[in-house]
Amino acid sequence: MIEKNNKRTDVNTIGEFGLINRITKNFALKQKTSILGVGDDAAVLDFADVKTVVSTDMLVEGIHFDLMYTPLKHLGYKAVVVNLSDIYAMNAIPSQITFSLAFSSKYSIEAIEELYEGVKLACDFYNVDLIGGDTTSSPKGMTISVTALGYTSEGLLTKRNGAKVGDIICVTGNLGASFLGLQILEREKQLFLNQPGIQPELGDAQYLIERHLKPEARKDAIEYFFKHKFTPTSMIDVSDGLASELFHICKSSGVGAFIEENKVPIHTDAQVMSLKFNTDPITCALNGGEDYELLFTVNEKDLEKVKYMPDIYIIGDIVDEKDGIKLHTSGGNIHDIKAQGWNHFDS
């Protein structure tokens, strides 16, 4: 490898977000058509009357997925869904994807076709067109890169930076289940490696495992917003855990947040399993990640509309920036929420 500059800072010292900041700060937007670039769930392009929304994600074997317990069909499905989730998080409708794949010769065509079966299932379910991609070999392992495009109108577009003091903080579905599903899969993998031939015990973990292997994007929430004619003031999808996403919204909007622990939705199976793993359920919700639920804020005037939304939970309020980002625990204490999230560069 050729490295001109001899200075060497390890990536671990600044983390993924630090790195992204560092490498993107020199890119100014020049095109009249570029409305929003790096820094939100997706980029926004103004080609005419509608806004085109673009998002991209890369999944690497051994980092984002383990083929020992991930069926390829599920992997294909998930790779699409995690991108569509970013489009929905802009209050936009996904319409197209490109799907690129690098894989080593250890994979058969049938394996690759199984992967694409999952891609097709996701495209059909979410009514999205596959419009391009690249397929190439890799010396080792598998890498997937997906770019999703969607559209929305100027008035409906929902970024991270619109939360105002007094807004209500909401989240769809429930949090922490995917993280716990992953813990179970990792545990069973280790048991299997130590004692090949052993049958996995997944009895009461079906729901959690499915949340990890086959997540869904919250298309229904966006449809509800459109149908009931109200627009969140800010929105983000929960891919890195509630804490990290709250930080993104608060930082972008210049506000603080106050969250009630007992309002944060955690599935019964997740509560039971987190105790088996000796973890606090709220920790799984705050720092777990890969839930692909939507975290959003709404103006108080829309409270009535939000209340009747199915599968929605009001978890707190937007407060002044100086009041920080706090959790009011079930035990009555108030703690600072710290953003951990995933850091794929951690060793």
Q: How far is the CB of 141 from its own copies (least distance, A)?
A: 7
- Residues between 26 and 65 that touch its own copies (CB under 8 A): 26-27, 29-31, 33-34, 36-38, 42-43, 45, 47-50, 52, 54-58, 60-64
**CA atoms within 13 A of residue 255's CA, in its CB half-sphere:** 22
The number of residues making up the chain comes to 347
CA 184 to chain CA mean position, Å = 20
By the 8 A CB rule, do 232 and 297 touch? yes
Closer Cβ to its own copies, 276 or 344, answer by number: 344
Choose between 3 and 336: whose C-beta lies nearer to its own copies. 3
Residue 291: CB minimum distance to its own copies, A: 18
User: Which one, 150 or 265, has the nearer CB to its own copies?
Assistant: 150
Q: Which amino acid is at 309?
A: M
Q: Which is nearer to its own copies, 193 or 303 (CB)?
A: 193
Contact residue for its own copies among 23, 193, 198, 275 (CB under 8 A): 23
Q: Segment 160-179, which members bind its own copies (CB under 8 A)? A: none
Our CB check for its own copies shows the closer of 113 and 304 to be: 113
Under the criterion CB under 8 A, does residue 138 sit at the interface with its own copies?
A: yes
Q: Which residues of 37-63 are buried (b: 16+ CB within 10 A; e: fewer)?
A: eeebbbbbbeeeebbbbbbbbebebee
Query: In the chain, where does DSSP find H-type helix?
Result: 15-24, 72-88, 109-126, 177-194, 206-213, 219-227, 242-253, 268-276, 281-287, 303-307
Query: Which one among 77, 88, 116, 179 touches its own copies, defined by CB under 8 A?
Result: 116
Q: What is the rounded CA–CA span in Å between residue 177 and residue 267? A: 7
155 near its own copies (CB under 8 A) = no
Which residues contact residue 15 at a Cβ distance below 8 angstroms, ignoring those fewer than 6 apart? 343, 345
Does residue number 9 form part of the binding site for its own copies (CB under 8 A)? yes
By CB under 8 A, is residue 112 in contact with its own copies?
A: yes
Give residue 117's Cα distance to chain centre.
22
Place of tokens 């989240």: 171
Choose, by CB under 8 A, the member of 79, 87, 135, 173 that binds its own copies: 135
Give me the least distance between CB of 264 and its own copies, in Å please: 28
Pick 44 or 295: Cβ nearer its own copies = 44
Distance separating alpha carbons of residues 218 and 195, to the nearest angstrom: 39
Is residue 100 close enough to count as binding its own copies by CB under 8 A? yes
Minimum CB separation of residue 123 from its own copies in Å reads: 7
Q: According to the binding rule CB under 8 A, does residue 77 interact with its own copies? A: no
Note whether 209 binds its own copies by CB under 8 A.
Answer: no
Which is nearer to its own copies, 24 or 330 (by Cβ)?
24
Q: Which is nearer to its own copies, 50 or 272 (CB)?
A: 50
Phi, psi of 147 (to 5 degrees): -120, 130
